[in-house]
Amino acid sequence: MSIAIERSKLGIKETPFFPRLKELSTTAHWEHWGGYLSPSELESLELEYFAIRSNATVFDISPMCKYRIQGPDAEKFMNRLITRDVRKVKSGRVSYVVWCNDEGHLLDDGTIFRFGDDDFRLCCQERQWDWLISAKLGFDVQITEETDEIAAIQFQGPTTCWFLKQLGLEGVENLKTFDLKYFDWNGNQLLVSRTGFTGDLGYELWIENKKALDLWDALFALKDERHIRAIGSGALNLARIEAGFLAPHVDFLSADHVIRSTRGRTPFEIGLGWQVDFNKGQFNGRRALLKSQKDKTDRYCFVGFEIDGNKPADHSLIYYKKKQEIGHFTSAMWSPTLKMNIGMALLKLPYGDSVQEELWTEIYTEKELKYDVTMAKLKVTDRPFFRNKRRTATPPADF
Amino acid sequence: MTKKYDSIVIGGGHNGLVCAAYLAKAGQKVIVLEANEKVGGMAITSELGGVKVPTVAHIARAVHPKVIKDLGLNIEIAKANIPMIALNTDGQHLKFKGDQVSGMNGAIVSAEDIKGYKSVHRNLQRFAKFLSPMMEAKAPKLKNRDREDTWNLIKLGVKLRLLGKQDMQEFLRIALLNIGDLLEDNIDNKQLIGAAAMDACWGTHLAPRSPGSVLTAMYRETGDMKGTRGAAHIVKGGMGNITDKLLKICTDLGVNVQTNAKVSKIVVEDDCVKGVELDGGEIITAENISSNADPRRTMLDMVGAEHLDINFTRRINNIRDKGDTAKVNLVLDRLPSFKGLSEEDLKARLLVCPDILYAEHAFNHCKYGEMAAKPALEITIPSVSDSSLVNDGKHVMSIVAQYAPYKLKAGWSEDTRNQLFENVIKVLEQYAPDIRECIDVSETLSPADIAKRFNNSGGHWHHVEMQVDQMLMNRPIHGAAQYNTPIEGLYLCGAGAHPGGNVTGVPGMNAAKRILSQKK
Ligand SMILES: Cc1cc2nc3c(=O)[nH]c(=O)nc-3n(C[C@H](O)[C@H](O)[C@H](O)COP(=O)(O)OP(=O)(O)OC[C@H]3O[C@@H](n4cnc5c(N)ncnc54)[C@H](O)[C@@H]3O)c2cc1C
């Protein structure tokens, strides 16, 4: 903790929720996220993980990059930026999106919030200011960086709707997955979107910085009636693997960050081909992607696996017929909820695509400075690994 | 109404006309759409004060022999192979002809300097000759090359070997050098160096000490129109005569040439060109479109960013295409008296750049958005060689003045244009003291005026700055080289494409060949 405070003096920013997080942190496990201090774990990874699946959890996503895009050409601008058809995203809706550079290589993924015909917000992991400014050329739009102006939490878990109703957000239970709505809360504009990274029932709450602590306190004031817990990125990461979501820097690298020219990946190579809409007209990277599809130059595929046994296979190499190395796991875990050993892997084509038999992974497990090696058999599995009706049920149950 | 053509050529500059003629010769149905009331672009002859003036370009040195031969372009020359005279205020001028330099009126050029100049000039010419095959064809790509590219690379490799080891080393040594250093390595005479150095810099955002100015010097020498490499000629009837003849060639080949037809938009559907929309709203459709307009106009204004990728648009937007070269045309009641020059001498190309520092100083102004107080000048008096331009004993003086930036800090206005005119005349008065009294009518064109009048982005001599990162397979930019653009069926055929500007016809010829070779 004291380390954290000293670091903040060295230029690492504190989010609006930091005062509360600081009080709750017993493990002092912090990490850097976009220039902010963010908890990896507050008290116990296990408790935090299980809270996601059984209670209500609060994860501070204020460091998320947020850009407001407004103006007469906003829709045209967004449609050219991202690979899917923005015209199909109605006002009051959120959509998961990806975008590519001119070579058709993924730059980042994120969500767009559509507030109106010509009013969008783009939320993502990586800074995009430079890219957006370049993209602006020839379009009548204003782009505003809102990253430091808006505090946000990811509020996830089966009981989250109950909490929001207690806050007096009338009709919040009617929000469907990917809906967004502004609520008047204590005279403030509170934006609620039914979105998240856990595959569970959940919301994201967005509020201006100076009201952030009020919101936090209002939620935690209900802690005697229903369990609520602040969590770190570690627990969230487990939930997102179960939900089958990709994480930047882990499952893919932004083409802007790679040094080796062969490390850029098309959306098709990381299992996001469904995001690419060739029929909507021009979007950035379209020509390159069409060509790579036509010439069949994609070299990789991204696959979900069920892994034999119970040893976590994170980073393990994958072999064809136990011999030929064909890829590795980018994210893998023993899923406590599913009681299943799962993982997502980047494989060289055609393995994982037309060749799905005889795939094995070599897992190294350390047992008190001694390594055991296991060859575990793999079975291609659909993502998400974790599915639960409560994610989409409207209205959600109270529990 | 919509009519269907095989190809539309946007712009009737000389390159657009050459491109159209080649396409029509191959059997295509072609239409040329020119925004101005007459074709020719920056290579025209216009009326001014009752006489004919070369509005912008005034010297022919590089119309490509292939273009001349293939199209049967018969260029009448009023005065071939004119010398260059570097003016000196006291009349002690230097005269350049080919690789020879000599002093006039007692000016002394040492034997060493004569030898030094000869050797520099010969080297530049030899290397220009070595480069010239690269100019005739699309510049080969190093990656994803086709058979023609590979063949051109092989030819280039063979040529490089044939240069011999010493020459090859010398070529590689000087190619990216600045012209000032190269000349100073071989010559002492400051006046000689100044004039020869400035000659490498016309029309570019370069001064003698800027890296890359050797490359532009070589580029100047690549032309061997009329069999003499690098020679300058005065065309009978002015440069407009070339484009008038090209127009005739086009119409004889059945090309539909429309003037006062400004293209406002290139219609793109599903990543292919469909046609163009004119200012008045008329739509004309075609399989291919070849644009003689500069790359920025073509891609950002006519196609529009919404059809293009983001980094590509950024690169187009960052193209350096702002000119530093202005033009002053004078209609004279009589010939002015230049100190130490006979009437015959006035047929030469007259240069004002006493030494390198003069040019550097003039360039400094320009770098900071000001016009040079003392510009460098390239002057011709075509009427001395070609009486058909004038009557009543009048004369025409054509002055290229450098440096005056497209983006003037103070903004271009009547006042600043007058200032530019004054600066030019004040310089000129030092060599021809009675020039002011001789002027009947004058016309001053800043780069901004040139841009406006000839519908280009920066009034740039070459449409796009001639520097190594914007040349060859990167001209105008990576992603739009070899006359192609990201939009299927859209080609670039103007000075902004390889090899570059000047009245050569090469971009137009090469683009037409490219279009024909890619026909489905
Ligand atoms: C001051 C100056 C002096 C020069 N002196 C010489 C010289 O002495 N010798 C020499 O060889 N070169 C000289 N040059 C360079 C030479 O003039 C040019 O490089 C050459 O003319 C370029 O030819 P082009 O056909 O590619 O383009 P341009 O001549 O610029 O023609 C382009 C044409 O496209 C038309 N156009 C543009 N947009 C549209 C539209 N939307 N719709 C319809 N039409 C459109 C324009 O009106 C224009 O007619 C000089 C240049 C300058 C600026």
Which residue's C-alpha comes closest to atom 16 of ligand 1?
Answer: B502
Q: Which of A145, A160, A185 is the last residue of a domain?
A: A145
Residues of A in Cβ contact (< 8 Å) with B304: 138
Sequence-separated (6 or more) residues with CB below 8 Å from residue B437: none
For residues B285 and B186, state if they share a domain: no
Is the same domain home to B210 and B159? yes
A172 CA to centre of ligand 1 in angstroms: 65
Residues A156 and A232 in one domain: yes
Asked if residue B256 is part of any domain, the answer here is yes
**Under 8 Å between Cβ of A157 and A55:** yes
Which structural domain range is residue A173 located in?
Answer: 3-64+148-243
Nearest CB neighbour to A138, from listed B304, B311, B486 = B304
Across A296-303, average pLDDT:
96
Question: Looking at CA atoms only, how far is residue B304 from chain A in angstroms?
Answer: 7
Please report which confidence band the pLDDT of residue A7 belongs to, taking 50, 70 and 90 as the band edges: low
**pLDDT tens-digit readout, B236-286:** 999 999 999 999 999 999 999 999 999 999 999 999 999 999 999 999 999
Q: Within B386-473, where are the H helices? A: 414-429, 435-438, 447-453
A34 lies in the same domain as A152 = yes
Query: If we measure between CA atoms, which residue out of A64, A187, A43 comes closest to residue A126?
Result: A64
**Residue that finishes a domain, picked among B227, B259, B285:** B227
- For the stretch A134-159, pLDDT in tens is 999 999 999 999 999 999 999 999 99
Predicted complex ipTM exceeds 0.95:
no
- B205 with B292, same domain: the answer is no
Within a domain: B13: yes
Which runs of consecutive H residues, i.e. helices, occur in A243-391? 286-294
Count residue pairs from A and B with Cβ separation < 8 A: 43
What mean pLDDT is predicted for residues A352-357? 96
Total-model pTM:
0.93
Give the end of a domain, one of A122, A145, A168.
Answer: A145
DSSP state, residue A384: P
**CATH number, residue A310:** 2.40.30.110
Give the structural domain span for B7. Answer: 2-43+239-319+464-518
| The domain boundary residue, chosen from B169, B197, B227 | B227
Give yes or no for residue A169 having a pLDDT over 90: yes
User: What phi and psi values does residue B132 have, to the nearest 5 degrees?
Assistant: -60, -30
Q: Is the pLDDT of residue B1 over 60?
A: no
Please check whether residue B371 lies inside any domain of the structure. no
A306 to each of A333, A341, A342, A345, how far by Cα in Å? 10, 6, 5, 11
User: Quick check: B132 and B147 in contact, CB under 8 A?
Assistant: no
Mapped to the 3 state alphabet, what secondary structure does B316-385 carry? HHCCCCCCCEEEEEEEECCCCCCCCCCCHHHHCEEEECCCHHHHHHHHHHHHCCCCCCCCEEEEECHHHH
Residue B164 vs residue B59, higher pLDDT: B59
pLDDT for B310-336, tens place per residue? 999 999 999 999 999 999 999 999 999
> Is residue B214 pLDDT above 70, yes or no?
yes
CATH of the domain at A101: 3.30.70.1400
* Nearest-neighbour CA in chain A from B488: distance (Å): 10
- Residues in B touching A281 (Cβ below 8 Å): 270
How distant, in Å, are the alpha carbons of B176, B353, B446 from that of B462?
19, 22, 15
Check CB contact of A139 with chain B, cutoff 8 Å: yes
Residues B210 and B246 in one domain: no
Task: Give yes or no for residue A5 having a pLDDT over 70.
Answer: no
CA of B246 to the centre of ligand 1 (A): 14
Which residue, A145, A169, A204, sits at the end of a domain?
A145
Counting from 1 in the atom list of ligand 1, the atom nearest the Cα of B327 is 1
Interface probe for A, chosen from B268, B307, B309 (most Cβ of A below 10 Å), is: B309
Residue B154 CB contacts under 8 Å (≥ 6 apart), including other chains: none
pLDDT digits (tens, 9 = 90+) for B455-493: 999 999 999 999 888 888 889 988 888 899 999 999 999
- Token output for B291: 């644009």
CA dist B427 → B55, B58, B88, B401 (Å): 21, 20, 11, 10
Mean pLDDT of B47-67: 96
Structure tokens at A83: 């690979």
Reported as a single tens digit per residue, the pLDDT across B152-182 is: 777 777 777 777 778 778 888 888 899 999 9
CA-based angle B187:B106:B428, to the nearest 5?
80
Contact A269, A104 (CB under 8 A): no
- B201 and B264 in a single domain? The answer is no
Q: What is the pLDDT of residue A38?
A: 96
Mean pLDDT, range B21-27, rounded to an integer: 98
What is the C-alpha separation between B299 and B265, in angstroms, rounded?
Answer: 10
Same domain, A70 and A106: yes
CATH number at residue A13: 3.30.1360.120
| CA B302 to ligand 1: nearest atom | 41
What is the Cα–Cα distance from A12 to A14, expressed in whole angstroms? 7
Other beta carbons within 10 Å of B150: 12
Q: Is the pLDDT of residue A8 over 80?
A: no
| A55 and A96 fall within a common domain | no
Shared-domain flag, residues A153 and A183: yes
Pair (B169, B120) in one structural domain:
yes
| CB within 8 Å: A285 and B300 | no
- Judging contacts by C-beta atoms under 8 Å, the chain A residues touching residue B270 are 281
First to last CA, chain B: 26
Rounded to the nearest angstrom, the minimum Cα separation between B503 and chain A is: 32
Residues of B in contact with A128 (CB under 8 A): none
Q: pLDDT, tens digit, for every residue of B410-460?
A: 999 999 999 999 999 999 999 999 999 999 999 999 999 999 999 999 999
Q: pLDDT tens across A240-269, in order?
A: 999 999 999 999 999 999 988 888 999 999
CA A163/CA A165 separation, integer angstroms: 5
Same domain, residue pair A31 and A166: yes
* B81-126 residue pLDDT tens: 999 999 999 999 999 999 999 999 999 999 999 999 999 999 999 8
Nearest-Cα distance to chain B for A147, in Å, is: 23
Verify that A360 and A215 share a domain, yes or no: no
Please report, as a single letter, which amino acid is at residue A173: E
Per-residue pLDDT of B182-208, as tens digits, reads 999 999 999 999 999 999 999 999 999
Question: Which residue's C-alpha comes closest to atom 49 of ligand 1?
Answer: B41
What percent of chain A stands above pLDDT 90? 93
Does residue B197 share a domain with residue B124? yes
Same domain, A95 and A160: no
Contact B366, B324 (CB under 8 A): yes
Q: Which residues line ligand 1 (CB under 6 A)?
A: B 10-16, 33-36, 41-43, 56-59, 203, 262-263, 292-293, 297, 323, 325, 327, 400, 450, 454-456, 461-462, 494-495, 501-503
- Chain A, 115 to 134: residues with Cβ < 8 Å from chain B are 131, 134
User: Number of H helices and number of E strands within chain A?
Assistant: 9, 19
Residue A330 lies in a domain: yes
Selected for mutation to probe chain A from B271, B274, B310 (highest A CB count within 10 Å) is B310
Tell me which of B227, B249, B265 is where a domain ends. Answer: B227
Residues A20 and A134 in one domain: no
**Number of structural domains, chain A?**
3
- Per the model's pLDDT, the better-predicted residue between B276 and B136 turns out to be B276
- B265 occurs within a structural domain: yes
Subunit contact A138:B305, Cβ cutoff 8 A: yes
Q: Are residues B171 and B261 in the same domain?
A: no
Q: Do A102 and B312 touch (CB under 8 A)?
A: yes
Distance B42 CA to ligand 1 centre (A): 4
Determine, yes or no, domain membership for A269: no
Q: Which residue has the tokens 């400035």?
A: B198
Q: Do A284 and B309 touch (CB under 8 A)?
A: yes
In whole angstroms, what is the distance from residue A364 CA to residue A372 CA?
6
| Residue contact A138–B300, C-beta within 8 A | yes
Arithmetic mean of pLDDT over chain B: 94
**Residue B310's pLDDT is what?**
97
Whether B334 is in a domain gets the answer: no
**Is pLDDT of A16 > 80?**
yes
B211: which 2 tokens? 């890296």
- CA distances to A175, A342, B122 from A110, in Å: 20, 24, 61
B482 within some domain: yes
Q: Are residues B299 and B254 in the same domain?
A: yes
pLDDT confidence of residue B128: 86
**Which residues pair with residue B329 across a beta bridge?**
B398, B443
Residue A191's pLDDT is what?
A: 98
Which of B294, B230, B327 lies closest to B465, judged by CA?
B294
How many domains, in total, are found in chain B?
2
| In a shared domain, residues A186 and A320 | no
A81 vs B contacts (CB less than 8 Å): 310
Does A323 fall in a domain?
Answer: yes
Do residues A76 and A190 both lie within one domain? no
Residues B128 and B216 in one domain: yes
Asked, for residue A388, whether it belongs to a domain, the answer is: no
User: Nearest residue CA, atom 12 of ligand 1?
Assistant: B502
The answer to whether residues B208 and B263 belong to one domain is: no
Ligand 1 mean position, distance from CA B56 (Å): 8
A293 token code pair:
């599809």
Substitution target from A83, A102, A133 for chain B, most B beta carbons within 10 A: A102
Domain assignment present for residue A254? The answer is no
Query: Which residue's CA is the closest to the ligand 1 atom numbered 3?
Result: B57
| Residues in chain B closer than 8 A to A294 (CB atoms) | none
Q: Is residue B73 part of a domain?
A: no
Asked whether residue A135 is assigned to any structural domain, the reply reads yes
Express as a percent the part of chain A with pLDDT over 70: 97
Q: Span A24-30, mean pLDDT?
A: 96
Apex B499 CA angle, B497 and B502, nearest 5: 95
Q: Is B500 within the bounds of a domain?
A: yes
Which tokens in the block code for residue B312?
């590509």
Position A88 pLDDT exceeds 80: yes
Asked if residue A97 is part of any domain, the answer here is yes
CATH of the domain at B255: 3.50.50.60
A359 and A374 housed in the same domain: yes
Q: Which residue of chain A comes nearest to B270, CA vs CA?
A: A281
**Is A159 within a domain?**
yes
